[in-house]
Amino acid sequence: MRRVQQLFLAWFLIINLATACSTQKTVTTRYSQYDPRTGEPATIEKETTTTEQSGAGAAVLSGAASVIGTVILLPIRAVGILIDAIL
């Protein structure tokens, strides 16, 4: 039983770290000015902004707590469904 718990914890941590949120956000904005005579783009400007985001650790912790809560509640919900089906 202990081996199963260790494998579950290791698998959970690997999945959680693989899908963790990025700490950077990149936004690309393009601006176009059109020539009024031809309707074609006369100038195109491209702006890329990269910003650092904080608080990614909180998202990982929140996700971990959510998964643990779901695993704990799963047998309780199963018993509730069985009791509801009997009654």
Domain residue spans in the chain? 21-86
Angle at 60 between CA 17 and CA 50, to 5 degrees: 85
If you average pLDDT over each of 2-6, 40-44, 49-53, 75-79, which comes out highest?
A: 75-79
Confidence of residue 10 (pLDDT cuts 50, 70, 90): confident
- Could you write out the three-class secondary structure of 8-63? HHHHHHHHHHHCCCCCEEEEEEEEEEECCCCCCEEEEEEEEEEEECCCHHHHHHHH
Q: Which two tokens stand for residue 77?
A: 């919900």
- Better-predicted residue by pLDDT, 75 or 51: 75
Q: Looking at residues 66-79, what average pLDDT do you find? A: 85
- Does the predicted model carry a pTM greater than 0.75? no
